[in-house]
Amino acid sequence: MTILCALKRAHLCTNSLGMALQFEILARYKRARAAKLTLPHFTCQTPLFMPVGTQGTVKGLTSSQLEDAGCQIVLGNTYHLALRPGADLLEQLGGLHHFMNWSRALLTDSGGFQMVSLLHLADITEAGVTFQSPVDGTSMLLTPEESIHIQNKIGADIIMALDDVVKTTITGPRIEEAMYRTLRWIDRCIAAHSRPSEQNLFGIVQGGLDPHLRDVCCQGLVDRNLPGYAIGGLAGGEDKDSFWRVVAQCTAQLPEDKPRYVMGVGFPLDIVVCSALGADMYDCVYPTRTARFGTALIPEGMLKLKNADMATDVRPLDASCSCMVCKRYTRAYLHTLVTREAMGSQLISYHNVAYMMKLNNDLHKSILEGCFPQFVQGFLRMQFPKGNVPLWVCNAMEVAGIDISMCLSPEVASS
Amino acid sequence: MKVEDPRNLRSIGDSTSIRDIWDLPSSQIMKFSFSVRVWSKLDRARTGTLNLGTGKPLADTPCLLLTTRKGLPAFITPELLDEIYPAANLLQISPIHFLETPPTSLISGVGGIHLLVGLPEYGLAAFARDSLMCEANGQGTTKLGAAFETSGGRRLVGPSKYMELVNALKPDFWGSLPDEVPAWVSTKRNRMSVDRTLNWLDHCLSLHSVGAIFGTVVGGVDLELRMHSAQETAKRRVSGFSLGGFGLGESKEERAALLEVAIERLPAELPRHVSGLGMPEEVLEAVSAGCDILDSTYPHTLTTGGYAMTFPLSIQDEHDSEKLSIEECATLGSDSSKINLRSMSYRSDTSPLLKSCECHACCKYSRAYIHHLLNTHEMLAQTLLDIHNVTHYLRFFAAIREAISQNSFDQYKSWFVSRRR
């Protein structure tokens, strides 16, 4: 089994048209892969997690702190940046990299996600989405062309095609309509993209939880030979068993030699499962948002610092973590800061981002060193010491070809 | 205690016992001490060095104690604090912030405040007054203790509780628990405050086990009571003095006289801390009166208002600084001392907050970015502004020390005050 993963196969994008990246797979374990992703501003290693910096800043952290934590790509939200400070101003000031003093890579989403998060302010037609600005109430028509135009001005290393996003919990013809519209819009995005040699346009697979629709969408996008692909429309409240099946289907269908990005995924467990299924990139507000509510991410799961028993706990958040916060602070002190002082959320955000970076670095290293199954087993043992690994994880791992039977309690194993 | 001619004084260590120094191997122990290097000729201003002991920073005075919330600056994380130059290595902590959690046994168990807040090499000074959150108005204070407004409501803290906190926190130096009263209280209440503060000082002294103790001098706006409080406090075995009850409604003229009568009666070789005089002009006035250690909420106040300090620090500096007309200032919401980053005029301004500044914020970020962060309510705005404001204020203190060393403090003060008018 280990012979397989020791096989190092390089997949270099040879296509010079519309590519501003190189994706080189360094090692694999079954479907999982560890790769080197070379972007205009930074050479990254995958699997990789991208913290979300919606408005040109990751909540409360400086760019030097993000670098110290090991961040490789930061995500910016096109819709929010277009409202404030505005695309023209960003272009005038030398792009988002310069504006936020971030020298590593950036990715901007297309604004499509706001069709879901700000649905009450959005009106979706074939032309595009009309948003009512939550800032000043004016309306803005976001067409595929306009989205790309704005993202060209923002200047991120990876830009996303505008897709028609619907909630995965919705059923019926709206899902199909959205998928076909996403395919029609991708051509408009490609045509509008003015900086293909500096920015990589990723297409987004839609199609809800329907395998047939996902299949059509994957095929349609692969035909366009894009620099990378995203699996969209997930992590929106669907059941986990449907979630992993869509990821598994798409990662199997998408080309081997292109990066695969699962949008909106950020729970550590989901990242481990998706990586085992062959995904490479993730983004989520979860680590920083949960930090602001006083929850730290640790190998055992979540640590709720507001809990009364934290008041007398003199251990660091995570003894295995070497971040600045774990080196300096006890849980007891963070308990006194949390939710009362802004510093509490800043320190826990710092740790959570560092935790996510370390998790992804560990995934990369374990695939490279041929011990990916052992890493997954160790991870599951820590998260589920009683062996109550959820069934969807067991099912996904079976498809990923990773034996986790030793992590399961007898009851789970027999069911 | 007889006041000697200050010009004849040399460095004199404090009189605290060996028990006052916290757990360092005996061979390495250096005591808390203070020495004056240069005395101003025209006023009582002086510059010197505060030695907090082995492994601790040597702090040049007059110095600034940074404001903290539960032991850390409100917006600057510790590794960013480490980067600030001139070194931001003296912080003021309030024992009152630790009334609820963590338990004092735990604070003591982890090794005190330095280790609790992850700043073992910093100088941490404990004073009860928290100018940010709680106005010292004397209301609710009884013979049992001083009243403080906390997040858990009003709390009465007596000397025993206060010393339990101080002994657990193990600050490098700390002030005795005062009963501070504002300028408008009756003479009767003021007299009570003086007697009570002296009683509490004796109580604190009897319970004190760590750090250097600063006796707190009060007396409101009553010259006689100020004199009495200073005289009596000076009789105690203390390592320094804390001038309490300032910035609580006294007029500028009253303040000068009150500082003078109190400081005249304090031994010249010991350091003096003052609380509540944090604006630049107040700092100059306090330094001129002979204060060595000052706390200030001024940088914090500007930061939370979205302002960056831009006032020139020296006469040479003034020629290089931006000049704005009165009309421009009015439109920008700025003045000759500070700029308002919320103003739309900085929307596309790629220059740093202050060209001559080398702080983290000025080296790496533009006014346009900080304006955007304020506009979108992002926390990083306060972090960056505070790094700049704290750096600038520390540079202001460095300029004050330099002026005293050059025997030109009086001119410096006049120049500074005249350009701010």
Question: Does B369 contact A92 at a Cβ distance shorter than 8 Å?
Answer: no
Q: How far apart are CA A358 and CA B405, in angstroms?
A: 51
Confidence of residue B136 (pLDDT cuts 50, 70, 90): confident
- Using an 8 Å CB-CB cutoff, list chain A residues near B364: 62-64, 101
Tens-place pLDDT, residues A30-76: 999 999 999 999 999 999 999 999 999 999 999 999 999 999 999 99
Considering only CB atoms, A84 lies closest to which of B117, B372, B383, namely B372
For residue B109, the distance in angstroms to the closest alpha carbon of chain A comes to 9
* A62 shares contact with chain B (CB less than 8 Å): yes
Torsion angle (degrees, nearest 10) of CA B121, B67, B173, B24 = -20
pLDDT of residue B206: 96
- Residue B139's pLDDT is 85
Average pLDDT over residues B128-154: 85
Distance from CA of B102 to the nearest CA of A (A): 6
Residue B364 to residues A97, A209, B361: CA-CA distances in angstroms?
A: 12, 45, 5
ipTM: 0.94
CB-based contact (8 Å) between B120 and chain A? Answer: no
The structural domains of chain B, ordered by start, are 15-296 (3.20.20.105), 308-420 (no CATH)
pLDDT at A391: 96
Residues of A in contact with B73 (CB under 8 A): 343
Compute CA distances A288 → B5, B22, B105, B379, whole Å.
Answer: 59, 38, 32, 12
Tell me which residue in B103, B376, B379 faces A60 most closely, judged by beta carbons. Answer: B379
Distance CA A12, CA A6 (A): 18
At B35-84, the pLDDT tens digits run: 999 999 999 999 999 999 888 889 999 999 999 999 999 999 999 999 99
Res B12: pLDDT = 37
pLDDT at B106 over 80: yes
Q: What is the mean predicted confidence (pLDDT) over B347-364?
A: 97
What is the overall mean pLDDT for chain B? 90
- What is the pLDDT, as a whole number, of residue B376? 97
Better-predicted residue by pLDDT, A363 or B332: A363
B418 touches chain A (CB under 8 A): no
pLDDT value, residue B299:
97
Residue of B77, B347, B376 with shortest CB distance to A346? B77
Output the 3-class SS for chain A.
CHHHHHCCCCCCCCCCCCCCCEEEEEEEECCEEEEEEECCCCEEEECEEEEECCCCCCCCCCHHHHHHHCCCEEEECHHHHHHCCCHHHHHHCCHHHHHCCCCCEEEECCCCCHHHHCHHHEEECCCCEEEECCCCCCEEEECHHHHHHHHHHHCCCEEECCCCCCCCCCCCHHHHHHHHHHHHHHHHHHHHCCCCCCCEEEEEECCCCCHHHHHHHHHHHHHCCCCEEEECCCCCCCCHHHHHHHHHHHHHHCCCCCCEEECCCCCHHHHHHHHHCCCCEEEECHHHHHHHCCEEEECCEEEECCCHHHHHCCCCCCCCCCCHHHHHCCHHHHHHHCCCCHHHHHHHHHHHHHHHHHHHHHHHHHHHCCCHHHHHHHHHHHHCCCCCCCHHHHHHHHHHCCCCHHHCCHHHHHC
pLDDT tens across B362-373, in order?
Answer: 999 999 999 999
Tokens at A343, concatenated: 């510093």
Question: What count of CB pairs under 8 Å joins A to B?
Answer: 115
Give residue-wise pLDDT tens across range A235-246: 888 999 999 999
B385 pLDDT above the threshold of 90: yes
A283 has catalytic annotation: yes
Token code pair at residue A169:
């919990």
Identity of the residue in B78, B101, B364 whose CB atom sits nearest the CB atom of A335: B101
Angle CA(B220)–CA(B223)–CA(B226) in degrees, nearest 5?
Answer: 60
Instruction: Using the predicted structure, report yes or no on whether residue B164 has a pLDDT greater than 50.
Output: yes
The active-site residue out of A157, A270, A283, A318 is A283
Chain B nearest-CA residue for A332: B102
Read off the pTM.
Answer: 0.93
**Chain A residue with Cα closest to B74:** A343
Compute mean pLDDT per 10 residues along chain A, 415 residues long, and list them. Answer: 36 51 98 98 98 95 96 97 96 97 97 81 91 85 96 98 90 94 97 97 97 98 97 93 98 98 97 98 96 96 96 96 96 92 95 98 98 98 97 98 95 79
